């Protein structure tokens, strides 16, 4: 199995579980849980493939569908063992954006796009599934809040693209780039770092 395909599948697992946890938190029925898991897992990749005029991955390879179904059943069955839903959601969401950022950039590179477009594709792949998940669950998407979310993806995407020109092996490039996304996200949450706001205190009140 190719490395990027493996990363894509792992990202699908992480995001599917993230979607399930959000749906469980909203007390959705089994069908709703499956839909949220599916949209979270493949939303970003679907948009990416449409924009680059490529075959939509999950429509051509049913492995993704099976992985989402399996991940959904696993998350629902072992939801109590996943600990606090909020903490588990953060964990799987962070892993998901790290893995999907790499997949998106690689897809852009393979299609011969400009570096800026490659970084944008990586960020879009990582974030858009979560945007759809939050909108469907009546939440303001994380990417639109002050939290450092897309910024972590952009930094990881830049690192992945730049490291392609180094003598470092592909495996290490993946590890380094993914780690950057995860570390930036973790540090931002731990130290409560956020992007500056354009609103004054009076306007926010």
Distance, in Å, from the CA atom of 7 to the CA atom of 48, rounded to the nearest integer, reads 16
Q: Which pLDDT value is given to residue 83?
A: 60
Dihedral angle over CA of 75, 38, 129, 90, nearest 10: 0
Does residue 173 sit within a domain? yes
Distance, in Å, from the CA atom of 18 to the CA atom of 170, rounded to the nearest integer, reads 27
Name the pTM for this structure.
0.91
Range of the domain at 65: 3-196
Q: Which pLDDT value is given to residue 114?
A: 94
Does residue 165 sit within a domain? yes
DSSP one-letter string for 68-105: HHHHHHHHHHTTTTT-SHHHHHHHHHHHHHHHHHHHHH
Does residue 203 sit within a domain? no
Point out the residues of the chain with pLDDT beneath 70: 1, 83-86, 199-205
Beta bridge partners of 194: 147
Q: Which pLDDT value is given to residue 26?
A: 94
Domain count for the chain? 1
């Amino acid at each position: 199995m190719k490395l990027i395909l493996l990363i894509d599948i792992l990202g699908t697992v992480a995001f599917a579980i993230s979607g399930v946890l959000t749906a469980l938190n909203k007390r959705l029925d089994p069908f709703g849980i499956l839909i949220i898991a599916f949209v979270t897992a493949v939303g970003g990749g679907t948009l990416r493939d449409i924009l680059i005029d490529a075959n939509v991955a999950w429509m051509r390879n049913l492995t993704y569908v099976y992985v989402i179904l399996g991940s959904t059943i696993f998350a629902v069955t072992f939801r109590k063992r996943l600990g606090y839903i909020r903490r588990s959601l953060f964990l799987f969401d962070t892993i998901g954006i790290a893995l999907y950022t790499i997949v998106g950039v690689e897809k852009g590179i393979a299609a011969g796009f400009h570096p800026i477009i490659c970084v944008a594709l990586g960020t879009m792949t990582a974030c858009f599934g979560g945007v759809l998940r939050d909108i469907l669950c009546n939440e303001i998407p994380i990417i639109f809040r002050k939290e450092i979310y897309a910024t972590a993806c952009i930094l990881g995407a830049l690192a992945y693209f730049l490291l392609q020109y180094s003598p470092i092996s592909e495996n290490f490039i993946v590890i380094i780039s993914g780690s950057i996304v995860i570390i930036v996200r973790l540090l931002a949450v731990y130290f409560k770092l956020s992007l500056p706001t354009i609103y004054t205190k009076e306007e926010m009140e």
